[in-house]
Amino acid sequence: MRAKSDVKQITADLVAAIADIRRHIPAESEESLAHVETFCAIALRVMAKTNPSKLRDAAMTEEILARVQGREVLRDEPVP
């Protein structure tokens, strides 16, 4: 998880990911994507105000849960 001061980079990564999703979804899914975008905007505001150790704790908990459930885990660094 990135430090609190890196919220700008997290925002840039998220905006790029949403733009990629938007290019691949049908027009009838626009309202659903608007809900996701709103949730992400709120989450980014909360992250900007949250203690970095709490963010790391939440990120580690989510990573463990994703691994247990067999979901893809995002990484900051490429895996060799």
15-35 pLDDT per residue, tens: 999 999 888 888 788 888 889
CA 66 to chain centre: 13
Pick from 74, 50, 70: nearest CA to 60: 74
pLDDT at 4: 47
Q: What is the pLDDT of residue 2?
A: 46
> Does pLDDT of 69 surpass 90?
yes
For residue 77, what pLDDT is reported? 57
Q: Is the pLDDT of residue 3 over 50?
A: no
